[in-house]
Chains A and B, each alone.
Chain A
Amino acid sequence: MTPRVRAAIPLLERLAADLDASFEELVAGHQQPLFAFVTGLCGDPGRAEEVVQDAFVRAHRALRGYPAERILDLALRPWLFRIALNALRTSLRSRGPHLVLVDSPPESADPAPGPEADALRGEQREGLVRALASIPAEQRAAVLLRHAHDLGYPQIAEVQGRPVGTVKSDVHRGLEALRRRMGAEVEA
């Protein structure tokens, strides 16, 4: 199959037809949001890299066992977020549940608005990372999925395996808590 012919067929179809030949593309297409999500959850990019590796290994194992119809029906993004969430839980269980806040501000994807503004945003981002660490884990995950990754409430409910109503109220409460924390930091 030439690269052009391959690209014309949707990824899920290719995963169902030849998992090993197309899995690299799945990783390439989803590693960024998964890594950002897990880093946001645990505050530790080093651990996040391991956890996301684990998540992709789990995803590969799962896909290997799925019949083609099940693969074709997958909502890939929520499914992968869910696996990443579970992989993080396993990691926290086996290597200690404490959050390690060694996070440093990520490099912004936006064009730099000048050194001064950059430093300010960097500080704000560090504040946000600290604020995230202070809210309950499920709220943190719900807020990140909604506002960092743009998932809808039904999708978040699917990722977390919780009712939509609960997810909604967690997003609102989490966001409120973050605003309070950020406000308090700025005033302090």
Chain B
Amino acid sequence: MGEDVVEAGLRDLGRRPAPETLLPAVLGRLGLGYWYAPAESPLGTVLVAHGPAGVVAVRWGESPEAFEAWVRERIGHTVRPAERLPERLAAVVEAGLRGRGRDVRCDLGGLSDFHRDVLEATRTIPLGEVRTYGWVAREIGRPGAVRAVGTALGHNPIPLVIPCHRVVQGDWRLGNYSGDGGPDSKRRVLAAEGVDPGELEALARSRVRFHGSDTTRIFCVPTCRHARRATEAHRVTFGSEAAARAAGYRPCKVCRPAAAA
């Protein structure tokens, strides 16, 4: 037996492959890496991907393989399946999927500043209320970018938690929805949050854009919690901002229905 056998044998030992369980175990112990697990939402089971900086994606209606590919494309990291979300995250995320998304840490890395601004503004819309694409455009200081806002919300990587379903068309028609299931899903999510989609459509038909109160002489978006507090007897309706201002009404400071003049 020559020396070659020993040296070749040693070289072979050096090539022993690592078990596939090693990398995930290390990442798990360090709380690193990107993982996904199913969670329950008003639209049924969804897949939630998260990483060191928070939730990176929520999607439903596709295979785990397609989900993994989509997430990898978005964040440039491999995402691995887990049986469930980590305990600390699970409660926050499930509440987030049910409309209380402001407590969920979201990782919007890799998105453009504009896209991020749109999503952050959308996160400020309270549960049970809706705003328009124009409202979001104004909030981020880009009043002319209404169409771009629509496109950005159409590519919301974390729907439900970032409530793009609360952004509707200027005349209160529901408009499109980025999530699987389209406008039907949008109706169901809004209904689950206590917004009556039928009421919004009635506003659209009757061309009502704003509600005002003749006691406070303030006008609001119709779902604003202050507008809803006004009794029927004192409610006035406006078809435009100009009409409201002409009647001597000022915009509500909470729902900001129009740029403060």
Selected contact of B14 from candidates A3, A37, A49, A182, CB within 8 Å: A37
Q: Which of A144-161 contact B (CB under 8 A)?
A: 144, 147-150
Interface string of A114-131 (1 = CB under 8 A from B): 000000010011001100
Known: A24-B77, A128-B9. A179 touches B110 (CB 8 A): no
Taking CB atoms, residues of chain B closer than 8 Å to A32 are 15-18
The stretch that binds B, out of A9-17, A89-97, A105-113, is: A105-113
* Residues A147 and B11 in contact in the complex (CB < 8 Å), given A24-B27, A24-B32, A179-B6: yes
Residues of A near B110 (CB, < 8 A) are 1-2
Chain B contacts for A52, CB-based, 8 A = 18, 22
Report the nearest A residue to B9, measured CB to CB.
A128
B254 contacts the other chain (CB 8 A): no
Selected contact of A144 from candidates B13, B25, B76, CB within 8 Å: B13
Contact count band on B: 20 to 34
Q: How close is B194's CB to chain A, nearest CB, in angstroms? A: 39
> Do B76 and A147 have beta carbons less than 8 Å apart?
no
A23-B30, A24-B23, A27-B26 given; A35·B10 CB < 8 A: no
**CB of B21 within 8 Å of the partner chain:** yes
Residues of B within 8 A of A78 (CB): none
Interface residues as binary, A75-92 with B (CB distance below 8 Å gives 1, 0 otherwise): 000000000000000000
Interface size class of A (residues with CB under 8 A): 35 or more
Q: A53: which of B12, B17, B29, B32 is its contact (CB, 8 Å)?
A: B29
- Most B C-beta atoms less than 10 A away, residue of A36, A110, A183: A36
Is the Cβ of A57 less than 8 Å from the Cβ of B30? yes
Q: Which of B5, B23, B29 contacts A28 (CB 8 A)?
A: B23
- Whether, in the assembled complex, B52 has its beta carbon less than 8 Å from a beta carbon of chain A, the answer is yes
Residues from chain B with a CB closer than 8 A to the CB of A36 are: 13-16, 18
A106 near B11: Cβ-Cβ < 8 Å: no
- Docked Cα-Cα span, A51 to B8, in Å, equals 26
Out of A31, A128, A132, A147, name the residue touching B22 (CB < 8 Å): A31
A175 to B33, CA, bound (A): 41
Residue A178 lies at the interface, judged by CB distance under 8 Å to chain B: yes
Chain A residues whose CB sits within 8 angstroms of the CB of B18 once the complex forms: 31-32, 34-36, 49, 52
Determine if A144 and B32 form an interchain contact, defined as CB atoms under 8 angstroms apart. no
Q: Does B1 contact A (CB under 8 A)?
A: yes
30 CB-based A-B contacts, threshold 8 Å: A2-B76, A20-B52, A21-B52, A27-B23, A31-B18, A31-B26, A33-B14, A35-B18, A35-B22, A39-B13, A49-B19, A49-B21, A52-B18, A53-B25, A53-B29, A60-B32, A106-B17, A107-B17, A109-B12, A109-B15, A124-B9, A128-B6, A128-B10, A144-B14, A147-B11, A149-B14, A175-B3, A179-B1, A179-B3, A182-B5
> 16 additional contacts, CB 8 Å, given A23-B32, A149-B14, A179-B3?
A24-B32, A24-B78, A27-B27, A31-B26, A40-B16, A49-B18, A49-B19, A56-B30, A57-B29, A106-B13, A109-B17, A124-B9, A125-B9, A132-B13, A148-B14, A182-B5
Top 10 A-B residue pairs of the complex, sorted by shortest distance between their CB atoms: A148-B14, A3-B76, A106-B16, A147-B10, A35-B18, A36-B16, A128-B9, A31-B18, A56-B26, A109-B15
